Amino acid sequence: MKTGKKELSHSKVVFTLALLFFSFSACVGQEGNFSGLREQMVKTQLEARGIEDEQVLKAFRKVERHKFVLPRYISMAYQDSPLPIDEGQTISQPYIVAYMTEALNLEQDDKVLEIGTGSGYQAAILAEIVDSVYTIEIFENLGNKAKSLFDELGYTNIYTKIGDGYKGWPEHAPFDAIIVTCAPTDVPEPLKNQLAEGGRMVIPVGGDAVQQLVLLIKNRDKLKQKSILPVRFVPMLDTDGKKR
């Protein structure tokens, strides 16, 4: 018995629709799994370790960290550990990102400067909390990749720049908060000058062996500074690749 062309065509359509259905189901299932992993991350890595700011926790539940890591590390995206990205840099562990964000005591109308865009994850977390985020990356490849991802994810309140973060972004200063995700040996003077009255800065400071996360608060043009946590970050570099 011969199979007619119409029957073959119908079979192809049914097969194609079945493939599309199973592909869609797999995607939905995977995204659901990521959502569950984000919730687990918030509960076991953040809340269990003392992160209390509801806006910070809400941002971590929403921002899809797996989209900010390299494809080969997607299965590790929601573990509490830093992961390598391009240019020898890293995406910080979720707890450190949350700790630094909470330390800034952010309000919705704050204008925030980030030094070291990296993967873009920290900027995305900030953008869920405040009206405007200005982020600077010294590596052009990383900065352009992060900008493309911000555009893809629909962030219209993140402003990017390729440049030397040590110098800050004076055209848009002063900033209500500054967050630095690479470690200079001392707090850069330009960043101090670009902090608004009442502004807060959180920055890792130190050499390769010993670093401290430092919180600075500006009050009447004076900076109150205290160390809040021992950390390990990649060094701050200048445009020649030398450590700051």
Alpha helices in the chain (DSSP H): 5-41, 54-62, 94-103, 121-127, 140-153, 189-193
pLDDT (average), residues 8-34 = 48
Residue 20 CA from chain centroid, whole number: 33
Orientation of helix 5-41 relative to helix 54-62, angle to 10°: 160
User: Positive or negative CA dihedral for 226, 231, 236, 242?
Assistant: positive
| Biggest alpha carbon–alpha carbon distance for the chain | 93
Question: What is the spatial distance between Cα 232 and Cα 210, in angstroms, rounded to a whole number?
Answer: 8
User: Positive or negative CA dihedral for 47, 44, 115, 112?
Assistant: negative
Q: What is the pLDDT of residue 32?
A: 59
Could you identify the residue written with the tokens 């209390």?
Answer: 52
Catalytic annotation, pick one of 35, 75, 92, 148: 92
Between residues 94 and 221, which one has the greater pLDDT? 94
- Which contacts qualify for 218-227: CB closer than 8 Å, 24 or more apart? 218/192, 221/197, 223/192, 223/195, 225/187
| DSSP letters spanning 23-70 | HHHHHHHHHHHHHHHHHHHIIIIIGGGT---HHHHHHHHHS-GGGSS-
Q: Is the pLDDT of residue 33 over 50?
A: yes
pLDDT grade, residue 2 (50/70/90)? very low
Q: What is the pLDDT of residue 16?
A: 43
Q: What is the pLDDT of residue 13?
A: 43
% of the chain with per-residue pLDDT over 70 = 87
pLDDT (average), residues 78-96 = 95
The answer to whether 92 is a known catalytic residue is: yes
Fill in the DSSP letter of residue 130.
S
Q: What is the pLDDT of residue 196?
A: 97
What average pLDDT does the chain have? 89
pLDDT grade, residue 238 (50/70/90)? confident
Q: What is the pLDDT of residue 209?
A: 75
Fill in the DSSP letter of residue 243.
B
pLDDT grade, residue 26 (50/70/90)? very low
- Using an 8 Å Cβ cutoff, are 41 and 63 in contact? no
Query: Could you read off the pLDDT of 40-52 as tens digits, one per residue?
Result: 999 999 999 999 9
Query: Could you read off the pLDDT of 182-195 as tens digits, one per residue?
Result: 999 999 999 999 99
Question: What is the spatial distance between Cα 99 and Cα 153, in angstroms, rounded to a whole number?
Answer: 24
Q: What is the pLDDT of residue 4?
A: 53
Q: What is the pLDDT of residue 1?
A: 45
**174 cis-preceded (ω within 30 degrees of 0):** yes
Domains and their CATH numbers in the chain? 53-230 (3.40.50.150)
Q: What is the pLDDT of residue 220?
A: 87
Q: What is the pLDDT of residue 31?
A: 58
pLDDT (average), residues 219-237 = 92
